[in-house]
Amino acid sequence: GSQDSGVHPGQVANLSKAKMNWDEFHCINCIIPLSSLCDFQLSINAFDYNCHVDLIKLLKQEGELIRLRKARQKMSELFPLTEEIWLDWLKDEIRLTEDERNREKVYELFEKAVKDYICPDIWLEYAQYSIGGMGSPGGIDKVRSIFERAVTAVGLHMTKGQTVWEAYREFENAILSTLERIHTLFRRQLAIPLMDMETTYAEYEEWSEHGVSEMVIHQYKKALQQMEKCRPFEESLLVAEPPKLAEYQTYLEFELKEGDPARIQITFERTLAENCLVPDMWAKYTAYLDRQLKIKDLVLSTHERAVRNCPWTMGLWKSYLLATERHGADHQIISDIFEKALNAGFIQATDYVEIWQAYLDYLRRRVDFKSSKELEELRGAFSRSLDYMKQDVEERFGESGDPSCIIMQIWARIEALHCKNMQKARELWDNIMTKGNAKYANMWLEYYNLERSYGDSAHCRKALHRAVQCTSDYPEHVCEVLLTFERVEGSLEDWDVAVQKTETRLNRINEQRAKVAEKEANLARQEEERAEQRRKTKSDKKAQKKIQKGSQFGEKRKAEPEDHQDEWNEDSEQAPKRHRGNGDQTTEYMETETGLFGKSAPPGYKPGPPAAKKVQLGVAAAVQRQNDDKPELRNDNCSVFISNLAYTLEEPEAKLRTLFEPCGPITQIRPIFSNKGNFKGYGYVQFESQVSVPEALKLDRLEVEGRPMFVSPCVDKNKNPDFKVFKYNTSMEKHKIFISGLPFSCTKEQLEEMCKSHGTIKEVRLVTYRSGKPKGLAYVEFANETQASQAVLKMDGMEIEGNKISVAISNPPRRSVMDKPGASRLTTDMPRQVYGSRGRGRTQLSLLPRSLHRQSGPTNKVENGTTADQVPTTASSTVNTAAETKALSNSDFARMLLNK
The per-residue pLDDT for range 726-749, each reduced to its tens digit, is: 554 656 788 899 999 999 888 888
pLDDT of residue 584: 43
CATH number, span 310-513: 1.25.40
Q: Taking residues 87-99, report their average pLDDT.
A: 85
- Rounded Cα distance between 741 and 777, Å, is 7
Q: Where in the chain is the domain with CATH 1.25.40?
A: 310-513
- Rounded Cα distance between 851 and 547, Å, is 13
- Rounded Cα distance between 319 and 333, Å, is 15
Sign for the CA dihedral angle at 452, 453, 459, 465 comes to: negative
Distance of CA 720 to the CA centre of its chain: 31
- Rounded Cα distance between 639 and 636, Å, is 5
pLDDT of residue 99: 67
Q: In terms of pTM, does the model score above 0.75?
A: no
How does residue 893 score in pLDDT terms, banded at 50, 70 and 90? low
Higher pLDDT, 370 or 562: 370
What are residue 703's DSSP bridge partners?
708
660 pLDDT exceeds 60? Answer: yes
Q: What is the per-residue pLDDT across 47-79, written as a single tens digit (0 to 9) for each?
A: 788 899 999 999 988 888 889 999 999 999 988
Class of domain 636-713: alpha beta
How does residue 85 score in pLDDT terms, banded at 50, 70 and 90? very high
- CA R_g for the chain: 38
pLDDT of residue 648: 86
Exposed / middle / buried, residue 791 (Cβ in 10 Å: 0-12, 13-18, 19+): buried
pLDDT of residue 590: 36
Cβ(342)–Cβ(355) under 8 Å?
yes
- Rounded Cα distance between 147 and 124, Å, is 8
Class of domain 736-809: alpha beta
588 pLDDT exceeds 60? Answer: no
- Rounded Cα distance between 491 and 500, Å, is 14
Q: Taking residues 111-136, report their average pLDDT.
A: 91
Of 629, 613, 731, the C-alpha closest to 679 is: 613
End-to-end CA distance of the chain: 81
Of 864, 747, 777, the C-alpha closest to 583 is: 777
pLDDT of residue 895: 67
Q: Where in the chain is the domain with CATH 3.30.70.330?
A: 636-713, 736-809
pLDDT of residue 608: 45
Cβ(399)–Cβ(349) under 8 Å?
yes
Distance of CA 837 to the CA centre of its chain: 33
Please enumerate, as own/partner, the contacts of 64-72 that have beta carbons within 8 Å and a separation of 24 or more.
64/35, 65/96, 67/35, 68/92, 69/93
How does residue 44 score in pLDDT terms, banded at 50, 70 and 90? confident
The percent of residues above 90 in pLDDT, for the chain, comes to 50
Report DSSP letters for 400-425, one per residue.
Answer: -S-TT-HHHHHHHHHHHHTS--HHHH
Cβ(517)–Cβ(509) under 8 Å?
no
pLDDT of residue 822: 42
DSSP-derived 3-state class of residue 490: coil
Higher pLDDT, 420 or 819: 420
45 pLDDT exceeds 70? Answer: yes
Q: What amino acid occupies position 888?
A: L
Higher pLDDT, 887 or 207: 207
pLDDT of residue 785: 83
Q: What is the per-residue pLDDT across 308-364, written as a single tens digit (0 to 9) for each?
A: 999 999 999 999 999 999 999 999 999 999 999 999 889 899 999 999 999 999 999
How does residue 403 score in pLDDT terms, banded at 50, 70 and 90? very high
> Which residues have C-beta within 8 Å of that of residue 383, sequence separation ≥ 6?
none
Report DSSP letters for 531-580, one per residue.
Answer: HHHHHHHHHHHHHHHHHHHHHHTTSPPPP-PPPP-SSSS--TTTHHHHT-
610 pLDDT exceeds 70? Answer: no
13 pLDDT exceeds 50? Answer: no
